[in-house]
Structures are given as C-alpha cells and as structure tokens.
Amino acid sequence: MGTFFYMLLAFLVGVLVGWFIWGRLRGELDSLRGDMDRTRGERDRLRADADRLTGELDVCRGARADLERQLGEAQGAKAGATKAAIPAPSALMSTSSPAKTEPAKSTPAKSTPAKSTPAKTGSGKSTPAKTAPKKPAAVTAAAAPRASASKAAASKTSATAKKAAPAAKKAAAGKATAAAADKADSLRRLIGIGPVNERKLHGLGVRTYAQIAAWTAADIKRIEDVLEFDGRIEREHWIEQAKLLAAGDEKEFTRRFPTAGTASNT
C-alpha cells in the first residue's frame, strides 16, 4: 500500500513538472510568433513606402521629361524666328546696290551721242537707236535681283512659318495633357490600388473616380485581364469606393472603408 502511494505521488509530481515546462515553452513560442508577425507587418509597410516613393520618382521623371521637351521646342521656335528675321536686311542691301552702280555706268552713254550729232546726221539718228535700249536693259538688270531677293525672302519666311506651326501644335498638345493630368483623381485612395496599379490604370486611360464607378462587367473583366487580377476588383469593392469618392461623400467612405489611405491600403 505504501509503495503504491509513493508511485502515485511521483506520477502526479512528474505530471505537474511536465505541465509547467510545457506552459513555459508554449509562452515563449507565442512570443516568437508575435515578434514574427510584427516583423512581417513592418516589412509590408516598408514595401508599400518603397512602392510609393518609386511612383513619385516616376512622376517626377515624367514631369522633367515634359519640361525638357517643351524647353527644346521653345528654343527651336526662337531659333527659327531669328533665322527668318536675319536674311531680310541682306536681301534688301543686295537689291539696292546694283541700282546705285548701274546708272553711274550709263551716264557717259548720254554725253557721247550729243557730240556726234553735229558731225554726221545719219549716224546721229542711228546712235539714239543703239543707246536707247541700254536704259531698259539696266533697269531690268537692276529689277531682276530685287524680284529674286523678294521671292527668296518670301520662301524663307513661309518655310520658317511651316516649321514653327508644328512646334506650336506640340506645345499646345503638351499644355492640354498637363491640364488633363492636373484634373486626374488620386486613384491610390482606393483600397487595393498602389503605385504600380495606378500606373497601369493610367496607361489604360483610367484617371478619375467617375470612370471606375461606371465600369460594367465587361470592363471589369478587361481590366482584370490586363492587371492579372482574379476577382480582386469585386472582392475589394473598387466600384463602391469610386462611387462614394466621385459623389464627394467622404464621411460615408471613411465609415465603410476605414483602412483607405493607410500603409495597409494595398
């Protein structure tokens, strides 16, 4: 009887010691799991921040490229305008110089017939016939460079105007795209849309909440095929979120989707 009692007591003591050790190990295991969950959360938050910074960097690069392109077009238009304005004075100088030199050569021709007329009447009659065509020839010779210079100046101005017209159209198109980009909504407020998905939606032409709110079943299927989603749009309620934001109901949007705009948005 005494032996059985001691064996029972030893068994109970062993069970209590094992239970104590197991509880302690289980507590340490739970603490390790909690630490692992916290590190995972921090990792996801850092990834979201990295994606956001990458998106902002891409937007800054695109804005810089647009500004450089507009600056190049403006400089090209100014260079074309200066090239069109410079040749005009030279053309005018080239046309005026022959007009001054040709009459100086023709003045002796007027004095020579006057001396020959008293000596020979027959030759006096024939000499005016020879000297008379010299004046129109000089005038036509002086007028020809003027006409050619004016045509060259007109052709140069028309060519510069044609070159400046596409540059003005490109500048207007760049301003229109910049204005459209200013009117675009921030799609990243929707739960499930991060920087990468926002860039993909912009590439598909989706820039406002109203566009997402008006999606049909066919549109959802097409967008999911492009974004490589499988039911995510319906699961994360993109259309409901977009309808509330398009209507300006911020209070209802915050109540129904409290995690929107946080680090765990995506």
For residue 151, tell me if it sits in a domain.
yes
DSSP H or E run through 246: helix 238-247
pLDDT block averages, 10 residues each, the chain of length 266: 85 92 90 91 92 92 91 86 62 44 43 40 39 44 53 60 56 50 78 88 92 93 86 89 92 88 55
Q: Identify whether residues 150 and 119 lie together within a single domain.
A: yes
Q: Identify whether residues 91 and 132 lie together within a single domain.
A: yes
Q: Is the pTM of this model over 0.95?
A: no
Measured CA to CA, the distance from residue 226 to residue 199 in angstroms comes to 12
Measured CA to CA, the distance from residue 128 to residue 200 in angstroms comes to 89
Domains of the chain: total: 2
Of the candidates 70, 67, 83, the one whose C-alpha atom is nearest the C-alpha of residue 168 is: 70
Q: Identify whether residues 99 and 143 lie together within a single domain.
A: yes
Given this model, what pLDDT does residue 228 score?
81
Q: Identify whether residues 108 and 121 lie together within a single domain.
A: yes
Task: Pull the structure tokens for residue 207.
Answer: 């820039």
For residue 55, tell me if it sits in a domain.
no
Q: Which of 154, 183, 212 is the last residue of a domain?
A: 183
Q: Identify whether residues 205 and 165 lie together within a single domain.
A: no
Q: Which of 183, 203, 227 is the last residue of a domain?
A: 183
Given this model, what pLDDT does residue 5 score?
85
Which amino acid is located at 142 in the chain?
A
Q: Identify whether residues 207 and 159 lie together within a single domain.
A: no
Range of the domain at 108: 86-183
How far is residue 40 CA from its own chain's centroid? 38
For residue 11, tell me if it sits in a domain.
no
Q: Identify whether residues 179 and 219 lie together within a single domain.
A: no
Give the up-direction half-sphere exposure of residue 195: CA atoms within 13 A in the CB hemisphere. Answer: 14
Q: Identify whether residues 127 and 156 lie together within a single domain.
A: yes
Q: Identify whether residues 173 and 92 lie together within a single domain.
A: yes
Q: What string of DSSP letters covers 178-244?
A: HHHHHH---GGGSTT--HHHHHHHHHTT--SHHHHHT--HHHHHHHHHHHT-SSHHHHTTHHHHHHH
Q: Which of 183, 215, 237 is the last residue of a domain?
A: 183
Of the candidates 184, 193, 183, 181, the one whose C-alpha atom is nearest the C-alpha of residue 261 is: 193
Measured CA to CA, the distance from residue 127 to residue 146 in angstroms comes to 30
For residue 142, tell me if it sits in a domain.
yes
For residue 97, tell me if it sits in a domain.
yes
Q: Identify whether residues 194 and 163 lie together within a single domain.
A: no
Given this model, what pLDDT does residue 197 score?
87
Given this model, what pLDDT does residue 119 score?
36
Q: Identify whether residues 199 and 171 lie together within a single domain.
A: no
Given this model, what pLDDT does residue 14 score?
92
Q: Identify whether residues 217 and 203 lie together within a single domain.
A: yes
